[in-house]
Every structure is written in structure tokens, then in C-alpha cells.
A and B are shown apart, each in its own frame.
Chain A
Amino acid sequence: MIGKVDLTQEGIEVKKSACYFCHQNCGVLAYVKDNKVLGIEGDPEFPTNQGGLCCRGNIALKHLDHPDRVNYPLKRVGKKGEGKWQQIPWNQAIQEIAAKLSSIREQFGAEAVATAGGTQRTDDWARRRFMNLFGSPNGFHNSHLCWIPTFMVETAIYGWCPFDLDIGASKCIVLWGQNPGASGMPEAHHVAELQDKGMKVIVIDPRFTESASKADLWLPLRPGSDLALALAWIHVIIYEGLMDQEFVLEYCEGFNELAEHVVDFSPEWAAELTWLTPDQIRAGAYMYANNKPGNIQWGTSVDQIGKPAGATMHARALLRALTGNLDRPGADLLTGPSQDYLTDEELEGNEFLSDEQKAKQIGADKFPMVTWPGYSKISELTKKTWGKAPTAEWMCEAHPPSVFRAIASSDPYPVKALLISATNPLASYGETSVVLEALRKVDFMVACEYWVTPSAMFADYIMPIAGALERPIITNSYGCADFMLTSQRAIQPMYERRNDFNFWRDLGVALGQEANWPWKTVEEAYFSAIAPIGHAVSSFDEFVEKIRFHFPEREYYKYKRQGFATPSGKVELYSTTLKELGLPPLPQYVGPSENEIDNPELAAKFPLVLTTGGGFMPFHHSEHFQIKDMRFLRHSPFMDINPATAKEMGITDGDWVWIETARGRMRQRANLTEAIHPKVIYTQRCWWYPEKDMRDFDLGGELGGALESNGNVLTSTADDYCDPYSGSWANRGLLCRVYKVEEADLKEVM
């Protein structure tokens, strides 16, 4: 029984599907009868979730046929932002969109068409393929804030990025700005199990999070000061004799330069910058370096600290190298790309994009690391060692804020069309005012969506996209893992919804790309990807039903056989790749994008430190605010403030509070908690209110409350706030002030 549903009734089929509400893709068993899902539960045989499902996973059926879902192609008939739509057939929409894109390409060049994605939960390789064939280098995601810069910087140092932790044999894990207790449920479970067996857990986080509450050591640093901490750890490891000498001598280059570089970065130096004591800093370095093998788990926060982000990633990578915690049992593994199946990169068709068009990628001149200049270099090196390159869709993208600015200003050239796929840039991209201006001004816009989000309100067409339970899924860490987990659709998409793959393919076909789209369905494409593994199956579904997982045998110490995928074949502590790209070969200290030491005048006006990025249950990024059965858990947005600070400002628990930075202000409700430093404010991110009037302000609406409680109203994406390596912007470590929302404003809030 699942509630009132009898699972033993006749005609029920069990489909091996997956959750699609975060990229863990937890395995789901779907009980299906007559193309209707009667019930779901976590799949106990799925290796990651082992039967578990978080809040989001549990509401899949509420999401599947929610009354607000977009079910048919919609064409705008009113003004932009007015929300008047006409339902039209899929093919008509495709033809009209194709005609428009084609005329834009003729007039302004293919680069005048940009596309944006959300999290890794769309058929992104297909979008990339479309863009490559169309001729535009201007596709992007919010990937700059999520692992991608980390991947590229680390690959520059040691030839791949160790996202696959061999934690089974680990003795210590550092959760660096990561809170799996709120974001990565399956991972939280594995960490807890190993902690029971004696593994040490270090949590680096300004907040006393779910994960911090279980940690052996919690380091509550000033938001954005991670670089000072990482440099001080390097200093301690080198100068207090905690290094793996053998590994460093034999497999690393540039040790002397590094040792000299960090000579002054002592814990005493870092204390003032991080707000930690030298003892706390040392305790962390000792715990990590003395409990080997150990891991540093990636978390988004370092990607999101703006200016010091790239240098912090570099420094963090050096910690692994200095302790020898690379590609050995229990440590951080360099798996390389899959040798057994076709990777996303092999499906993207990057060879179709000409060098001339690559050179036009917006942002490539400013931020080399995750654009064509850095990507070309990295892919050349990885191909030499691994035979394959990382996924370009993600690792090689236009700089999002610069594209939004180009739309508004035609600088460096006009961008006339924006196609967004399962993303709500007003809520999720930095500096909302810049995004809003772009959405209002862009000549032509298409949204592939589940919902009519505040961003989709500006679209000329909205295309209905298949969601959880309606699509086949391959899970393999952005196409960069050597393993693979697969899941099938529980049902064919309802109404006229399709996979976004079908959108890009159909659009491609309408624009003359048919010869280069050999697969008609996602399943056909996925089947061609898995075929080289060599199982005797004749379809993707059969693979899911019979095989489902591919975990190649682990090979440790691959560097002994093939070296590291760097120019010297060693771990380049002093990175020649970064140097060639015009970046510092050693991590130079830079303060957070805004801070009290470098910007005392700003700090006088905005005396508190803001962090906006962290995930919180039950929502995922800007999603799920419509789902009442979850929203009741967090009906309104809350910001964390220390009780002592709140008292000074006359703020009591539950009050509406303005949070203001140099960019503007937004409001959330006060949660008085000791979990945060008296000088730090944590706000929830990406809030919007589906229940509010969705129309644009000048048409009498509220734009779904997209500017009201949204952390991104406070962030800056100005070039000099961004990381010079990757262009990622800061939503942590900014300066702010807070004050109570006055009685008169309160009505507006409610």
C-alpha cells in the first residue's frame, strides 16, 4: 500500500524512474497503470538514496499535474510582461521561433542568439549541439556559481577534478562551505555512517548548519574569507611538517615557489581576516593533514565568493596535493572521463562551431578560465592524457552577467534573442536589476518551462517541458564522471510537454540541421551513448531495466602510469597553465569582493557581512514555491540574525526586516538565532511568490514578488566584483545593513 493505493492491483507496472528535483537524481520506483502514475517511493536498490527521498522527491506527483504547470506551447498575445497567451500547436511554435532566429542570424550574426539553462536538469548537451550547429558561442548557465570554475581551476593544477570521493576508507572529510544536511541528502547519510566509524568531519561554514551541528570541528569563518583560511592551512602544512614529502617530491612541481609564497600566510595573519583564532585554524589543518587518507568535499560556496574565488579554488587544490590526498584509496579521486561510454562532450558537436565564432564568446576576453581560451587549453591537455575532454556545455560558456548587459547595451555587440530553459534568471542570477533590464529589452525571448515564472512572463513563446517522471535520465556528474546511473520515464510526457531535447532537435531540424541530429528521441540518443559499454540490450529502457548502473573498476594511482594531465605531467603547484592564461600561477591573496579592511567607507555605511547563497529544505534554488504541501514548512522567507544584533536594532523574532546593500534592498523575516555571528546576516536566496500578481510593475502587477525577498537583489555582478579566473560573482561576503520594515511598508509586504 502507498496510502490508499493498492500496489498489488492488476495491471500495475513498476518503472525504474528517478527524482528530478536536484541533481542527485535519487532512484524512484513508480507504480504505473494506463500511463498514469499511481504512487511513488524511493528505490531501495538505488545506490545513492537507498530508498530515501527528501521533501522534494516526495511531492513528485503534486508537481506532475499541478494546475499551474505549462502543458501546451503558449504564444504571447498581450504586451511583454502582461501574461496574455494563446495556446498554439508545438510545430507552429517551432516554425515561428525558427523563422525569427534565422532572421536575427542574418541581420546580426548567430552570436546575437543567446541561451541560458538552470541547474543540471535539462538535456544540456542537446542545447549545446543546437548552438554549435546554429553558430553561436553564447550559451550559459548559472554554472559559474556551481562547481564549474572549481573543475577548471583544479584541472589546470592536476589534470581533472576530484568530485568523486572515495570516502569509504576516508579518515577525515572537510565539508568546505557545504551543508549536505540541507542539500545533498544521500551524501549526508554516507558522511554520518562513516563518522560513526571514526571518520572526522570538519565543517567550514559561517553558520551553525545541520551539518555543522554534527561536526567534529566547526570553523565559523567570516563569509568570503576562505582564501585566507586555505593559505594559512597551506602555511601550517608546509611549515609545521605535515606534508606528504614523498608525494610532493616525486609528483609535484613548483614546491619551492609555493613555500616561499606562503611564508607570511600564518594562522596569526589569517586570524584577523577570517575571524577565527590561530588555534582554530591550526586545529583544522592538523585534523585534515593528520587523518589520512582524507577528503575535501566540494561545496558551492567557494564558487560564490566573487573576487577571491579562483585563487581560493587553487589554494584548496594545493591542500590535497601537499597531503598526497589525490587518487589513492580513501582520498579524492581523479577518475577522468568515462572510457566506456560516450560522454556529453562527444554528443555536443563542438567541432561544428568555427574558430571565428568561438572568438566572439561574450566574456572570454575578461575571464579566460571557463570560456574558450581556458577550455581549449584544458581540453587539449586532458585529451592527451585521458583521450577525452570535459563537457563544454558548463565548462566553456559565455559570461552570464556580461550577456545580460550586452542585451541592454549592445556592448560588445547586439544580442537580440534569449532562449531560457528551465531557469528563472530573475530569481537565480546575480544582480536582479541587470537581469530585469535585459528581459524587458530583449527583442525575442523563448522560455522552455514547467511554470510561468516571473522571467517567463517576458517570453514571446513558452514551451511546455517534461519534468520528473516524464523523462529518461543519465546521472554522471555533468558528463565528467566515469560512472553512470540511468533511469527511465515512468510515463510519456503528459499533455503537449516534451523533453527539451525535442525542442532543440525540432528547432535544429527547422533550421536545416537534420543531418546532424541522428536520434529522434532522448532514449535513442542515450542508447547510442551507452552502446559502447557492450551490454546485450537493444534499447535504453532495457538497459535501465536490466543493468541500470555502470561502475567501472577503480584504478588508483593512475598518475604513476600516465602522469597528471598538465603540461609537465606533474601536479603543478605553480601552475603554468594559469600563467599562460594570464592568471597568477600561485594563489595571490585577495580580500572578499566587499570587506571591512579594503573598503572601510563602505563598511561604515553597511556594517554587517551578508551571505545569501545557502540552500535550505524543502526548496531547490528558485523552485517549488508553488507546492503548498511543502511551502507550509517555510511559508515566508527568513533571514538569520544574532539575537544581540537584533536587540540593538529593535528587531524581534518574526519581524519583517529590510536587508540593504549598495545595490538595493529586499525584505525577509527575522529568525533570531545564535547560529550566526553577531556581525553576519544570512538571507535565503531566490525567493519569489507564485501566488502574487505575475504581471510587470508598469502593468499593475508585482512580477510574482520577484524583487521583494530575493537575495539576488543585493548581489553585484560588476566585472571588478567577479573572479578574474572565471567571472563568477559574489553572493557571499558582501556588506549590508538591516533595519525593521516600518508599519507603513508592512501592508505592501503582506
Chain B
Amino acid sequence: MARYAMVMDTRHCIGCHSCTIACKIRNELPTYMIYNPVTTDGPHGTFPHLNMLFLPLLCMHCDNSPCVDACPTGASVQTENGIVHVVDKKCVGCLSCIMACPYGARYHNHETGAVNKCNFCLDRVEEGMRPHCVETCHQKARIFGDLDDPNSEVSKLISENRSFQLLQELNTDPCVFYIY
């Protein structure tokens, strides 16, 4: 069984937002739903002694996912591969998961009433393709793969570089790793 994860190479990300737009356009999302915004951390310091990093965000596909726990109807689920997603039909739009997610990764779709979020491009991944945001990144700053395979690119990148996860202290055990 695979455990899907994403690695963000902050050394290469230039904050171009191509991933943000690719996700929106190809997944046909309304303007207010942004599964993967890119934030700028900085510039810190005083001119001209500065540093700056770009941090692309998205659903962390946490191993210990508070959103799934919070869902009263079983619409929010996690596949055996670790992908957290919402089964639209079962979602009643109670928004409990939105409140439970510490990463702000979930959105209420005003048209369908359901909550939607990044699902690691589940349909593509099942067909052996890569997520759209990974595919579109000119910088190859987003790397997708299987954590359970020690030879996968993601496993290697994590073991060979310094990395961090976001809000590690909450014990959500996120599966998005930032290397620097």
C-alpha cells in the first residue's frame, strides 16, 4: 500500500502561483475556492540584509486528520493511500470539518453546498498520473510520491535534506514536507 505525500522544495519555489491557477482551472473551481495558495514568508530583515521564502500550501493529508474525526456523516474520509477527501453526496454542509482543520484547507462550495478541498488529484493519481499542481510547476518545486517506498523521490528528498512540517506541534502528522 502506498502512502502519498508531497514535498515542497522551498529552495526552488519562486512563488509564481502557477500551481494555484492550475488547480483552480483544471479542477474547475469557483474563484473563491483556492485549494493551494502560496504564501510569502518575508522579506525578513532590513534592507538590504534580507531573506524570503515562499511556502506553497494545500491540504496536508494528515495521518491523524482532525477533519475526518469531526465529520458527523462520514463524508470526510481518508483512503488507504492516505488521501483525505470528501464524498460530496454524503456532505450536509455542517462545516464542522472546516472548523476542525488547523490549516484552513477546506472550503464551502456555495453552489453545491458541500465542503471541498484538495484531494491530491485522486482521479489522476488512481490512473498513475501526477497531480496538476505538480505537473505545472516549472521549478519542479513540488514533488509527489509514495512515502512507503524508500526509493521514491519524496522519501529520498526527505531523508537527504532538512525538512519541516507545518504545525507539527498539533500532532496531526501532516504528509506535506517542506525541504530547505
On A, residues with C-beta under 8 Å from B are 1-4, 39, 41-42, 49-55, 57-59, 61-62, 181-182, 185-186, 188-189, 192, 196, 208, 210-211, 213-214, 218, 220, 617-618, 628-630, 632-633, 642, 673-678
List B112-166 residues whose CB lies under 8 Å from chain A: 123-124, 127, 129, 132, 135-140
Is B140 a contact partner of A189 (Cβ separation < 8 A)? Answer: yes
Known: A58-B21, A208-B48, A673-B43. A52 touches B26 (CB 8 A): no
Q: Cβ of B28: which chain A residues have Cβ within 8 Å of it?
A: 3-4
Closest to B138 in A: A52
Is A52 a contact partner of B27 (Cβ separation < 8 A)? Answer: no
Is A675 a contact partner of B138 (Cβ separation < 8 A)? Answer: no
Is A186 a contact partner of B31 (Cβ separation < 8 A)? Answer: no
Q: Which 8 A-B pairs have the closest CB atoms?
A: A52-B138, A181-B14, A185-B138, A55-B21, A213-B52, A210-B14, A1-B123, A54-B18
**A189 touches which of B31, B123, B127, B138 (Cβ 8 Å):** B138
Q: Cβ of B137: which chain A residues have Cβ within 8 Å of it?
A: 52
Minimum CB–CB distance for A41 against chain B, Å: 6
Is B31 a contact partner of A628 (Cβ separation < 8 A)? Answer: yes
Q: Is B90 an interface residue, CB under 8 A from the partner? A: no
Q: Cβ of A188: which chain B residues have Cβ within 8 Å of it?
A: 14, 138-139
Instruction: List, sorted by A's number, 24 A–B pairs whose CB atoms are closer than 8 Å.
Output: A1-B123, A42-B136, A49-B138, A52-B136, A55-B20, A58-B25, A58-B26, A59-B21, A181-B15, A185-B16, A185-B18, A188-B139, A192-B12, A192-B139, A208-B50, A210-B16, A213-B50, A214-B11, A220-B47, A617-B18, A618-B21, A629-B25, A632-B31, A633-B20
Minimum CB–CB distance for B114 against chain A, Å: 15
Is A677 a contact partner of B17 (Cβ separation < 8 A)? Answer: no
A1 to B17, CA, bound (A): 22
Known: A58-B18, A186-B138, A628-B31. A213 touches B43 (CB 8 A): yes
Minimum CB–CB distance for B170 against chain A, Å: 29
Is B138 a contact partner of A58 (Cβ separation < 8 A)? Answer: no
Is A181 a contact partner of B16 (Cβ separation < 8 A)? Answer: yes
Known: A192-B11, A208-B43, A675-B43. A61 touches B138 (CB 8 A): no
List B35-51 residues whose CB lies under 8 Å from chain A: 42-48, 50-51
Closest to B51 in A: A213
Q: Cβ of B15: which chain A residues have Cβ within 8 Å of it?
A: 181, 210
Q: Cβ of B106: which chain A residues have Cβ within 8 Å of it?
A: none
Q: Is B22 an interface residue, CB under 8 A from the partner? A: yes
Name B's interface SS: mixed
Minimum CB–CB distance for A691 against chain B, Å: 14
Closest to A6 in B: B123
**B47 touches which of A61, A62, A678 (Cβ 8 Å):** A678
Q: Cβ of B132: which chain A residues have Cβ within 8 Å of it?
A: 2-3, 41
Best-buried of B17, B28, B53 by chain A (most CB within 10 Å): B17
Minimum CB–CB distance for B51 against chain A, Å: 7
On B, residues with C-beta under 8 Å from A are 11-12, 14-18, 20-22, 24-28, 31, 42-48, 50-54, 123-124, 127, 129, 132, 135-140
Is B136 a contact partner of A629 (Cβ separation < 8 A)? Answer: no
A630 to B139, CA, bound (A): 19
| A to B contact number (C-beta, < 8 Å) | 128
Q: Cβ of B24: which chain A residues have Cβ within 8 Å of it?
A: 629
Q: Cβ of A210: which chain B residues have Cβ within 8 Å of it?
A: 14-16, 54
Q: Cβ of B44: which chain A residues have Cβ within 8 Å of it?
A: 674
Is A674 a contact partner of B43 (Cβ separation < 8 A)? Answer: yes
Known: A213-B43, A628-B31, A633-B20. A2 touches B26 (CB 8 A): yes
Q: Cβ of B54: which chain A residues have Cβ within 8 Å of it?
A: 210
Closest to B38 in A: A633
Best-buried of A4, A59, A213 by chain B (most CB within 10 Å): A213
13 more CB-based (< 8 A) A-B contacts, given A52-B137, A54-B16, A213-B50: A52-B136, A54-B136, A57-B18, A62-B25, A181-B15, A189-B12, A189-B140, A210-B14, A213-B51, A213-B53, A218-B48, A629-B31, A633-B21
Best-buried of A55, A628, A675, A678 by chain B (most CB within 10 Å): A55
Minimum CB–CB distance for B153 against chain A, Å: 15
Is B11 a contact partner of A674 (Cβ separation < 8 A)? Answer: no
Minimum CB–CB distance for A522 against chain B, Å: 28
Q: Cβ of B123: which chain A residues have Cβ within 8 Å of it?
A: 1
A211 to B129, CA, bound (A): 30
Minimum CB–CB distance for A49 against chain B, Å: 6
Is B136 a contact partner of A189 (Cβ separation < 8 A)? Answer: no
Closest to B47 in A: A674
Known: A52-B18, A617-B16, A618-B21. A58 touches B47 (CB 8 A): no
Q: Cβ of B16: which chain A residues have Cβ within 8 Å of it?
A: 54-55, 181-182, 185, 210, 617-618
Q: Cβ of A62: which chain B residues have Cβ within 8 Å of it?
A: 25
Is B18 a contact partner of A675 (Cβ separation < 8 A)? Answer: no
A630 to B22, CA, bound (A): 10
Q: Cβ of A52: which chain B residues have Cβ within 8 Å of it?
A: 18, 135-140
Best-buried of B14, B20, B50 by chain A (most CB within 10 Å): B14
